[in-house]
Amino acid sequence: TTKLEEVKLYGGSGRGTVILDGSGGNTARIGVDMKMEGVEALPLLKDAADVDRLTGTGRLVVVLTGDGTSEREVVETLAGRVEFAFEDGAIRGINVAEMLRNLSRGNLGGLDAKPTDETDFSALTSSWTVASGVAQNNDLKLSSPLLRLSGSGRVMLPAREVDYTLKPRLVAS
C-alpha cells in the first residue's frame, strides 16, 4: 500500500492510495483510491481510452479494486466507482452553433463537420458504478449555451462493448 500525499498528473493535483497485494498466492489484488482537482480532460482521456474529442479541466475521483491472476481477470473483477466533473471545455470535431446558423440560412450543405470544429460547454458531469468489470452510468449531463446532453448506459470492460444512449436537446438560451 502506497499513500500518495501530493500527485501531479494531467495538469492537476491530488492525493490517494494505491494497493498492490500479492499475498493471496497466485492472485493479486490491485486497487486505487485517487482524488484529483484541476485535471485536463484531453490528455487524460487520450491516455486512458484513446478519446481525443473532449477538452476542459475539472475533478476526477477513482475508487477501484480488482483481483486476479492476469490482467483480464483483474478487469473482470473490477469494482468501485468513478466520478468526474469538467468545466469550460469543448467537444472537438463538431460545431453545433455553426450548423444551426447554416440551417437558419437555408444552407443544408453546411452540416459538414471538420476536425477543427468545437462545441463549447460550461459543465460535463458523470458518475459511474463498477461491478464485475461492468461500468454503469445514469447521470451524464453536459450543459452548453445551445445544447443540453444527457446520457446513461453501460460499458462492459472485459468484452470491450458499449451500450450507451446519449440524448441531445437544443435550447434557445
Residues 6+ apart with CB under 8 A from 86: 41, 54, 56, 57, 58, 123, 124, 125
Count, residues in the chain: 173
pLDDT digits (tens, 9 = 90+) for 160-171: 999 999 998 888
Give the chain's largest Cα–Cα span.
68
Asked whether the whole model's pTM tops 0.75, one would answer yes
49-108: per-residue pLDDT in tens?
888 999 999 999 999 999 999 999 999 999 999 999 999 999 898 888 777 777 777 766
User: Alpha-carbon distance 155 to 72, whole Å?
Assistant: 15
